[in-house]
Structure 1
Amino acid sequence: MNFEHLLQQVAFIHEIDKVKYIQRKTRLFNSDRNENDAEHSWHLAVMAMVLAGHSNEPVDTLKVIKMLLIHDVVEIDAGDVFLYDTIISHTNTEAERKAAERIFGLLPTEQAEEFTAIWEEFEAGETAEAKFARAMDRLEPLLQNVSNKGGSWREHHVTYDKVVQKKSIIQQGSQTLWDFAKALIDESVEKGILKKEE
């Protein structure tokens, strides 16, 4: 047994506990409590297991789950940027790249390289697995906002066009889930929980 490798792995395990403290703007389903990044990642991983059959292409579900469980670990250093933020780009690449190097770098080299590669694949969004993982990442907060009668959309004055623009990435991973999501977005306008630009 390589005791040094074990110590590095345990150091990483300690570090990622911080993900539980990163608060997101969205709230739990039918709740006033904000979700944290650990809850978000767990929920996405389970969603991927349940919904994988709706992917546009066959996917390696285990790889998708790995992506979803580690994709937000970089927010320990880089912070969570609200998808609809008008000042800071949600694609906070340079800060997230440095965070990935530091946090995954706590692991033994082989694992650090594997985790970094999985994170990079998710960020690039080009493989079938990455496209489906990103679809999960965009679908879950949409479902939360619908369940909370507009939730963070209402709180931050997010409009219909902005929601469609940011959520349409779902169709790259699953046309079926995008059709479902788009119907929910349209119904949200009809119910008055999402506003169109005037």
Structure 2
Amino acid sequence: MLPESLIQQIAFIKEIDKLKYIQRKTRLFNSDRNENDAEHSWHLAMMALVLAEHANEPIDILKVVKMVLIHDIVEIDAGDTFIYDTQKNHSNADEERLAANRIFGLLPEAQARELIAIWEEFEAGQTSEAKFARTMDRLEPLLQNTSNNGGTWNEFGVDYSKVYAKKSIMKEGSETIWNYAEKLINESVEKGILKK
């Protein structure tokens, strides 16, 4: 007889495979192919491991990795909202909450509670781990857009002020990484791939 917890965990594992089908607006580095949410989450986890020393405060790196791996799972139901979307403007908190309860709810109760709490912590952005995880989440598309000559900035008419406003949150998780990012943003204006 198989443990009920295993059956629930396998159901969750099968469900989150759908994350591979959620397309993001950003494209892979130096590429025309759009990234999917699973690729994005994996990349953020690797970035967090590699860049952890640059966090403003001591962080629990395992918690950060958990955050970046699960933060977009809700998009299986709620869909990906483009960071510069002017219609939805990330006002889909109710949809995402329903998605979190449904998808994480496939797991055994204790695991579901843990992952929902980690997802909520990321969303709130108040702890040192959440701040650093959010820094990773804002850095990756910046690197992608600079590698693609403006990428989604040009495609969707996003200007410097919008990019700067959305990216400046990175300084809460890492002043060092923000300094690097700010330099990239300013260089993008100089190169003409980001309109001022």
TM-score norm. by structure 2 comes to 0.98
Instruction: Give the Cα–Cα distance (whole angstroms) in 1 for the partners of residues 91 and 138 of structure 2.
Output: 14
Q: Distance in 2 between matches of 1:92 and 1:20?
A: 21
Alignment of 1:1-198 (within 5 A): 3-196=3-196
User: What are structure 1's unaligned runs of at least 5 residues?
Assistant: none
In structure 1, give the amino acid aligned to 2:144: Q
Distance of aligned partners of 1:26 and 1:129 in 2 relative to their CA distance in 1, 3 Å threshold:
same
Distance in 2, matches of 1:15 and 1:169, equals 31
Separation in structure 1 between the aligned mates of residue 142 and residue 156 of structure 2, nearest angstrom: 14
How far off its partner does 1:92 sit?
2.1
Q: How much does 1:3 deviate?
A: 1.3
Following the alignment from structure 2 to structure 1, what is the Cα–Cα distance between the partners of residues 73 and 183? 31
Name the aligned partner's letter for residue 27 of structure 2: R
Structure 1 outlier segments of 4+, above 6 Å: none
Identity between Structure 1 and Structure 2 (%): 72
What is the RMSD computed on CA atoms of the aligned residues? Answer: 0.9
Distance 1:142 1:166 in 2: 10
Per-residue deviation, residues 59-107 of structure 1 (Å, max 9, x unmatched): 0001000000000000000000000001002252111000000000000
**1:2: how far off?**
6.1
| Structure 2 gap segments, 5+ residues each | none
Query: Helix, strand or coil for the counterpart of 2:26?
Result: strand
